[in-house]
Chain A
Amino acid sequence: MSTRVSFVMGVSSLLQRRCLWSSQWRVRNYSVRSAPLPPDLPLLAETARISLTPKEVEEFTPKIQQVINWFGQLQAVDLQSIEPALRADTEGDNLRNDVPETFENREAMLSAVPSFEEPYIKVPKVLNKE
Chain B
Amino acid sequence: MASVLFRGIQTRPFLLYPSALLSRKNGVLFCTTKCSQSQTATQENQQTQMKVSPRTHTKKVEKILHDYEAIIGIETHVQLDTLTKAFCSCAYLYGSQPNTNVCPICMGLPGTLPVLNSKVIEFAVKVGLALNCNLSMNSKFDRKQYFYPDLPKGYQISQFDIPIATGGFIELDLPTEYGGGHRKFGITRVHMEEDAGKLLHSGNGSYSQVDLNRAGVPLLEIVSEPDIRSGLEAAEYAAEIQRLVRYLGVSNGNMQEGSLRCDVNVSVRPIGQLEYGTKVEIKNMNSFSAMNRAIDFEISRQVDLYSKGEDNQIIQETRLWEEGAQRTVTMRKKEGLADYRYFPEPDLPEVVLSEEYVDNIRASLLELPEVKRRRYERMGLSMQDVLFLTNDMNVADFFDATIERGAEVKMAANWIMSDIAAYLNNEKLSINEIKLTPQELAELISSIKGGTISGKIGKEILFELISNGGTVKALIEEKDLVQIVDPAEIEKMVDKVLIENPKQLQQYRGGKTKLQGFFAGQVMKLSKGKANPGLLNKILLEKLNAKG
Contacts and interface: CB of A to CB of B under 8 A. Distances in A.
Interface of A: 10-11, 13-14, 17-18, 21-28, 47, 49, 86-87, 89, 91-103, 106, 109-110, 117, 119-130
Interface stretch (B139-147, B301-309, B381-389, B420-428): B139-147
Contacts of B208: 122-126
Contacts of B91: 100, 102
Contact of A92 (B104, B211, B352): B352
Interface stretch (B290-298, B332-340, B439-447): B332-340
B83 A98 contact: yes
B344 interface: yes
Nearest to B142: A25
A89 B349 contact: yes
B313 interface: no
A6 B401 CA distance: 59
Contacts, number: 157
Chain B contact-residue range equals 35 or more
16 contacts: A17-B276, A18-B225, A22-B73, A87-B350, A89-B349, A92-B349, A93-B349, A96-B89, A97-B118, A101-B84, A109-B107, A122-B207, A124-B206, A125-B206, A126-B208, A127-B201
Nearest to B198: A120
A98 to B, nearest CB: 4
B96 to A, nearest CB: 10
B185 interface: no
Contact of B344 (A86, A102, A106): A86
Nearest to A98: B119
Contacts of B367: none
B349 A96 contact: no
Interface stretch (B109-117, B368-376, B430-438): B109-117
Listed from nearest, the 3 A-B pairs whose CB atoms lie closest are A120-B209, A103-B103, A100-B91
Contact of A21 (B138, B160, B205, B226): B226
Contacts of B41: none
B344 A120 contact: no
Contact of B116 (A95, A117, A123, A126): A95
Nearest to B163: A25
A126 B82 CA distance: 31
Nearest to A92: B349
A106 B351 CA distance: 31
B9 interface: no
B60 interface: no
Interface string B68-90: 00000100000000111000011
Interface of B: 73, 82-84, 89-91, 97-100, 102-104, 107, 109, 115-119, 121, 138-140, 146-149, 160-162, 188-189, 199-201, 205-212, 223, 225-226, 265, 274-276, 279, 332, 334, 337-339, 341, 344, 348-352
A127 B119 CA distance: 34
A75 to B, nearest CB: 18
Nearest to B141: A87
A14 B104 CA distance: 47
A94 B15 CA distance: 39
B210 A123 contact: yes
Given A21-B73, A99-B84, A124-B206, 10 more contacts: A13-B275, A26-B161, A49-B147, A87-B349, A98-B117, A103-B104, A110-B99, A120-B210, A120-B211, A129-B148
Contacts of B199: 123
Contact of A106 (B100, B138, B148, B338): B100
Contact of A103 (B90, B98, B226, B348): B90
Contacts of B104: 103, 109
B305 to A, nearest CB: 21
Given A91-B349, A126-B208, A130-B334, A119 B73 contact: no
Contacts of B115: 94-96
Contacts of B188: 22-23
Given A22-B223, A98-B83, A130 B103 contact: no
Contacts of B265: 21
A50 B147 CA distance: 12
Given A100-B90, A101-B89, A126-B148, A95 B207 contact: no
A109 B138 CA distance: 36
A101 B104 CA distance: 13
B77 to A, nearest CB: 14
Given A21-B276, A99-B83, A119-B99, A94 B116 contact: yes
B161 A123 contact: no
B118 A96 contact: yes
A3 B75 CA distance: 36
A44 to B, nearest CB: 10
Nearest to B154: A49
Contacts of A98: 82-84, 117-119
Given A93-B349, A130-B334, A117 B103 contact: no
